[in-house]
Amino acid sequence: MVHAVSAEGLLREHGLRVTPQRQAILQLLLDEEGHHWSAEQVRARLLPTMPGLARGTIYKVLEELVRAGLCEELPTPDNLALYGLRLTPHHHFVCTSCGRWFDVEAQGAETLTMVLGPADARVDDVAIVFRGRCHDCQAS
C-alpha cells in the first residue's frame, strides 16, 4: 500500500528522533503493511542493506515504535512476538494451520462492553483475534 506519509515524517510526528535504524524498520512496516514480523525476520530483511544492524537495536526500536503507537506487538502461542504497523485501529485473524496473522476489520467491535470483569475498570482498547484456517491452508 502506498502511504502519503513517510517513515521520517511519522517518527518526527510521534516525537522520535530520526535514525537510520528507526527509519529503515518503520519503512519496512509501511512497505509491507498487513504483514507481521518477528524481530529476527525484520533483522534478516534489513541486514543486506544494513550489515551492522544488531539484534538489540531491532528489539529496542520495535519497543519504541510500540510505545509511540506506530506499531503493535502480537504475542503468539509459542512466545514469539510479532510486530506490525498500527496506524489505524484494526483486529486480526490468525490461521491455526500456518500461523500467519492478517489485519481485519470487525463490524460491531466498537459496541462491545464488559459484563464481568474488574470493578471500575476503564477499557482503553479492544483487540479481537479471529482464529481459523486461511484460504491457502483450506486449499491444501
Bigger pLDDT: 106 vs 42: 42
Do both 64 and 28 map to the same domain?
yes
**Residue 63: inside a domain:** yes
Residue-range definition of the domain harbouring residue 21 = 7-85
pLDDT at residue 120, rounded to an integer: 85
Do both 14 and 74 map to the same domain?
yes
**Residue 2: inside a domain:** no
Reduced to 3 states, what is the DSSP secondary structure of residue 121? coil
DSSP string over 32-87: TTT--B-HHHHHHHHTTT-TT--HHHHHHHHHHHHHTTSEEEE--TTS--EEEE-S
Measured distance CA(94)–CA(99) in Å, rounded: 6
**pLDDT band, very low/low/confident/very high, at 4 (cuts 50, 70, 90):** low
Average pLDDT over residues 121-140: 88
- Give the CATH number of the domain where residue 11 resides: 1.10.10.10
What domain count does the chain have?
2
pLDDT at residue 121, rounded to an integer: 85
Specify the pTM. 0.80
**Residue 1: inside a domain:** no
